[in-house]
């Protein structure tokens, strides 16, 4: 995994409609996160392939280092609540 990152990391690429949907979800839920464009970061692209059966399937996210390939909102929020609660908005 490229540089171990805490919290929520979104691996995405331009032109991906599923990535746009996930980026909007992250914006509206106000989760603190880092975005990594796999077309500009070869290590990130290799990481995504390593957790997505050799494919560059995006969006892929990590929550406290745990990979999730194209997760649902429910699955993502459960993982954040369990493994990275600091990523949740502070005014909840």
Contacts of 3 (CB under 8 A, 6+ apart): none
The pTM assigned to this predicted structure is: 0.91
The values of phi and psi at residue 2, to 5°, are -60, 140
For residue range 19-56, list pLDDT tens digits in order: 999 999 999 999 999 999 999 999 999 999 999 999 99
Report in angstroms the alpha-carbon separations of 49 from 1, 7, 85.
10, 20, 27
Range of the domain at 14: 8-84
56 within some domain = yes
Q: What is the residue-wise DSSP string for 8-37?
A: EEEEE-TT-HHHHHHHHHHHHHT--EEEEE
Report d(CA 61, CA 66) in Å as an integer. 8
Sheet hosting strand 60-63, strand order edge to edge? 33-37, 8-12, 60-63, 66-69
Structure tokens at 83: 């493994």
| Count: domains in the chain | 1
CATH number for the domain harbouring residue 52: 3.40.30.10
For residue range 52-78, list pLDDT tens digits in order: 999 999 999 999 999 999 999 999 999
């Amino acid at each position: 995994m490229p540089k171990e990152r805490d919290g929520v990391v979104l691996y995405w690429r331009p032109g991906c409609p599923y990535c746009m949907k996930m980026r909007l979800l992250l914006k509206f839920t106000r989760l603190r996160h880092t975005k990594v464009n796999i077309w500009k970061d070869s290590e990130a692209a290799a990481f995504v392939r390593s957790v997505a059966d050799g494919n560059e399937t995006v969006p892929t996210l990590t929550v406290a280092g745990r990979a999730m390939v194209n997760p649902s909102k429910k699955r993502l929020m459960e993982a954040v609540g369990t493994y990275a609660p600091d990523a949740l908005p502070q005014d909840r």
